[in-house]
């Protein structure tokens, strides 16, 4: 295994989130990187004045089946998976006219957002990305040679290293981005499988996957010597995960746990019927009360155990 920096000479970009895309691609072009792209991404890049090779010209096959098939081709996956320096891989690339792809930039069809807005079953199905996860996994597997980016926030990290290493990216960053790539596809598949379970009203599927995105690092875990982080899963269910901290220091695990316990307990009361207040210590309610208004509910809850 080689840990040397790897030069980026060719990049494949196919994104649904086009934030910062054109500026990033222009920076790549400034290093002489050849750009390959698909559909709407290719159009955005061309509109931005960039020279782009369409993936259909690369593979020799047009996009088909409403875009379901466009990157599932050996000239794409061979370019991502070929081990540089492996004689057999190099011979296969030469025989089949496959060029290496050194950078993959893919963010997936917005399945989670499609579900969150209450889209129809058919729309949700069409927003299940197939080619994207396949390419991401291929590039991440071959991170010894290939850099993979799954969200725009990592553009500057890659450009920073290219500036530092004369157009190359370090093994350390390639490895971190590969780990992130696999985590992203795992969360994506978890969202899809859980949506299917909900749609089928299956409360106990044979396999249950959970995934989330980092909301914030926590001050410490359940005990001061432990580390902790708070992750938010897809969906719009109100609770501590959707709350906004207005003031105070960085939260700890216990802060999150206590807040969640208080929120879930007070949510048992009907806000149209009465006001309610819950006071929590170590995830256990030590005061719960209802009244005609919030102030009186608080006073009664405090009286339950003022200590």
Catalytic residues: 141, 282
If we measure between CA atoms, which residue out of 140, 153, 145 comes closest to residue 171? 145
Alpha-carbon distance values, 40 to 1, 43, 161, 177 (Å):
37, 5, 28, 24
Asked whether 94 and 82 are in contact (CB, 8 A), the reply is: no
Asked whether 119 and 135 are in contact (CB, 8 A), the reply is: no
The answer for residues whose C-beta is within 8 angstroms of residue 297's C-beta and 6 or more apart is 274, 275, 276, 277, 289, 290, 291
User: Residue 216 CB: number of other CB atoms within 10 A?
Assistant: 13
Task: List 296's β-bridge partners, or say none.
Answer: none
Q: What's the maximum distance between 2 C-alpha atoms anywhere in the chain?
A: 81
| Distance in angstroms (rounded) separating the CA atoms of residues 93 and 78 | 7
Map 58-119 to HEC letters. HHCCCCECCCCECCCCHHHHHHHHCCCCCHHHHHHHHHCCCCCCCEEEEECCCHHHHHHCCC
If we measure between CA atoms, which residue out of 48, 19, 54 comes closest to residue 35? 54
* φ and ψ of 158, to 5 deg: -70, -45
Structure tokens belonging to residue 249: 């220091």
If we measure between CA atoms, which residue out of 286, 290, 291, 292 comes closest to residue 304? 286
| Distance in angstroms (rounded) separating the CA atoms of residues 199 and 124 | 11
């Amino acid at each position: 295994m080689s840990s040397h920096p790897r030069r980026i000479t060719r990049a494949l970009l196919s994104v649904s989130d086009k934030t910062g895309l054109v500026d990033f691609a222009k920076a790549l072009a400034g290093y002489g990187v050849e750009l390959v792209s698909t559909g709407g991404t290719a159009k955005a890049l061309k509109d931005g004045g960039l020279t782009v090779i369409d993936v259909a010209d690369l593979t020799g096959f047009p996009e088909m089946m409403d875009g379901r098939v466009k990157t599932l081709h050996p000239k794409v996956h061979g370019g991502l998976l070929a081990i540089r320096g492996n004689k057999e891989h190099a011979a296969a690339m030469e025989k089949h006219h496959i060029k290496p792809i050194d950078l993959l930039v893919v963010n997936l069809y917005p399945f989670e957002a499609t579900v969150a807005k209450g889209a129809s079953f058919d729309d949700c199905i069409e927003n299940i990305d197939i080619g994207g996860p396949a390419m991401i996994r291929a590039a991440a597997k071959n991170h010894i040679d290939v850099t993979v980016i799954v969200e725009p926030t990592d553009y500057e990290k890659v450009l920073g290293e290219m500036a530092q290493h004369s157009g190359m990216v370090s093994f350390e960053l390639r490895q971190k981005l590969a780990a992130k790539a696999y985590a992203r596809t795992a969360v994506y598949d978890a969202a899809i499988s859980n949506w299917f379970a909900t749609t089928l009203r299956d409360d106990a599927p044979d396999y249950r996957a959970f995934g989330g995105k980092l909301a914030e690092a926590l001050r410490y875990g359940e005990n001061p010597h432990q580390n902790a982080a708070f992750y938010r899963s897809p969906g719009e269910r109100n609770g501590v995960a959707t709350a906004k901290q207005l003031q105070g220091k960085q939260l700890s695990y216990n802060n999150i746990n206590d807040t969640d316990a208080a929120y879930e307990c007070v949510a048992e009361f009907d806000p149209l019927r009465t006001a309610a207040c819950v006071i929590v210590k170590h995830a256990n309610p030590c005061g719960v009360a209802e009244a005609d208004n919030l102030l009186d509910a608080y006073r009664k809850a405090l009286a339950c155990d003022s200590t």
